[in-house]
């Protein structure tokens, strides 16, 4: 039983990490839009290339934040969460005087 | 001893002070890294623990490296400003003047001339962030890919922002949460708290993603070279040739570009939050009121 429970924990963490990285879609679309508009602006006014590029990179880096939230959550789910959840499970079972068989 | 000789000795001492911390960190890392098979993604190495009432205080690689960064930046500043004159005759004084001018210009451009006293703080944040991220190039664990360090900076910046918001008095600060209508109060409070969280997560996530991807690519190249070049005779077959140099191409983006970009963005956001959060009207009203009170008390 305990093995099954731990297996479910690991599977849940893995699936959760995969789902968390869906957050990458939003920044991808957003940054693509930003770069497209920057290209348009440079095409219209080639002399303002420097200012447009630096503003675009700054905006891209800020728009990336939501994607990075997903990344951080995914990394936590893979490297940190299984240990914590397994520990909680074992402590609960110990408190219940459960003997694995 | 002549003065010139003395100056040269001080210069050499400062240069040693600039480089030695990193060398010591690398030696410490090489000596303490446990032998393991292949590459693993792991947190910072824990050197030793100090027992504390709530939980043990871990002294990790990150603290040691960031201390090295601080010492190195201090030495760099001392080196650049050593023996400055009114009419500059050395290259390093020009470099120091260039840095100071650039930071002053940045502050004046983004915050206004009222905040010129912020220049050293912003330059310090930029310098420590950039040096910390760049220490990954030496093979050290970059301090910015540990949440504790970046969260500390985020909290520090949050305290400064709140301090500047409170300069207009407590009532306008609290009233700001109930705008435009009182129903928005929970959202405003969440937005206020999310400022340091988002600032630190942005920096941490960017550097960490570089570390994770570099490690994955490194281990993949190790496997690939074992598959392709494993037939070489003797010990030549055991050396992962593909892992030499190729991961460094990724480093150009993830360590150099991303690290410097995040340092700039962290400083930029600090400036913007402080400058936009400061209630100018309320502050001037409050100052006028205080002046009146002092005048009436004097009479």
Decide if A56 contacts A34 (C-beta within 8 A). yes
- The answer on B113 and B261 residing in a single domain is yes
Instruction: Name the 3-class secondary structure at A84.
Output: helix
- The answer on B67 and B150 residing in a single domain is no
Interchain proximity A68–B202, CB inside 8 Å: yes
Decide if B144 contacts B204 (C-beta within 8 A). yes
Report the DSSP pairing between strands B46-50 and B57-60: antiparallel
Decide if A78 contacts A15 (C-beta within 8 A). no
Does the CB of A25 have a partner CB in chain B at under 8 Å? no
Question: B109 contacts in A (CB within 8 Å)?
Answer: none
Q: What domains are there in chain A, each with its CATH number?
A: 2-95 (1.20.20.10)
DSSP B241: G
| Cβ density class B243-256: b for 16+ within 10 Å, e for less | beeebeeebeebbb
Interchain proximity A71–B208, CB inside 8 Å: yes
Give the pLDDT score at A2. 79
Average pLDDT over residues B129-148: 88
Does the CB of B224 have a partner CB in chain A at under 8 Å? no
- The answer on B165 and B70 residing in a single domain is no
B168/B129: higher pLDDT: B129
H or E element: which one contains B48?
Answer: strand B46-50
Whether B36 maps to a domain, the answer reads no
- The answer on B221 and B77 residing in a single domain is no
Q: Is the pLDDT of residue A10 over 80?
A: yes
Do you know the residue count of chain B?
A: 299
Whether B93 maps to a domain, the answer reads no
Interchain proximity A72–B206, CB inside 8 Å: no
Query: What is the domain extent for residue B185?
Result: 99-298
Q: Smallest CA–CA separation between B137 and chain A, in Å?
A: 22
Task: Tally the domains of chain B.
Answer: 2
Instruction: Name the 3-class secondary structure at B55.
Output: coil
Provide the token pair at B94. 């020009």
Asked which of A95-99, B83-87, B145-149, B272-276 is least confident by mean pLDDT, the reply is: A95-99
Q: pLDDT tens digit string along A34-77?
A: 999 999 999 999 999 888 888 888 888 888 888 888 888 888 89
Question: A21 contacts in B (CB within 8 Å)?
Answer: none
Question: A71 contacts in B (CB within 8 Å)?
Answer: 205, 208-209
């Amino acid at each position: 039983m305990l093995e099954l429970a731990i297996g479910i924990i690991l599977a849940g963490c893995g699936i959760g990490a995969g789902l968390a990285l869906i957050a990458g879609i939003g920044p991808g679309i957003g940054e693509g839009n930003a770069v497209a508009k920057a290209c348009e602006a440079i095409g219209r006014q080639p002399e303002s290339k420097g200012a447009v590029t630096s503003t675009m990179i700054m905006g891209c880096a800020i728009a990336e934040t939501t994607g990075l939230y997903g990344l951080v959550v995914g990394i936590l789910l893979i490297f940190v969460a299984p240990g914590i959840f397994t520990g909680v499970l074992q402590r609960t079972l110990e408190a219940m005087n459960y003997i694995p068989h | 001893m002549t003065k010139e000789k003395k100056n040269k000795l001080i210069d050499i001492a400062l240069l040693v002070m600039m480089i030695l911390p990193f060398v010591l960190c690398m030696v410490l890392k090489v000596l303490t890294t446990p032998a393991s098979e292949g590459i693993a993604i792991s947190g910072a190495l824990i050197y030793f623990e100090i027992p504390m009432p709530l939980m043990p205080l871990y002294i990790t690689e990150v603290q040691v490296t960031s201390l090295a960064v601080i010492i190195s930046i201090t030495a760099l500043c001392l080196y650049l400003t050593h023996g400055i004159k009114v009419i500059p005759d050395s290259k390093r004084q020009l470099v120091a003047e260039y840095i100071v001018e650039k930071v002053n210009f940045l502050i004046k451009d983004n915050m206004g001339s009222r905040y010129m006293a912020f220049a050293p703080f912003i330059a310090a944040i930029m310098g420590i962030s950039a040096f910390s991220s760049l220490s990954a190039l030496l093979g050290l664990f970059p301090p910015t890919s540990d949440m504790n360090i970046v969260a500390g900076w985020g909290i520090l910046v949050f305290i400064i922002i709140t301090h500047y918001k409170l300069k207009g008095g407590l009532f306008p600060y609290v009233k700001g949460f109930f705008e435009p209508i009182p129903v928005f109060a929970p959202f405003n409070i969440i937005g206020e708290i999310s400022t340091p969280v988002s600032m630190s997560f942005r920096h941490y996530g960017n550097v960490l993603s570089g570390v994770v991807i570099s490690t994955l690519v490194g281990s993949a190249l190790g496997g690939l070279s074992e598959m392709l070049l494993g037939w070489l005779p003797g010990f030549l077959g055991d050396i992962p040739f593909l892992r030499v140099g190729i991961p460094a191409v990724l480093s150009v983006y993830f360590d150099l570009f991303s690290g410097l970009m995040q340092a700039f963005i962290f400083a930029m956001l600090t400036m913007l939050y402080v400058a936009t959060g400061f209630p100018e009207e309320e502050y001037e009203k409050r100052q006028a009121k205080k002046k009146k009170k002092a005048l009436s008390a004097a009479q």
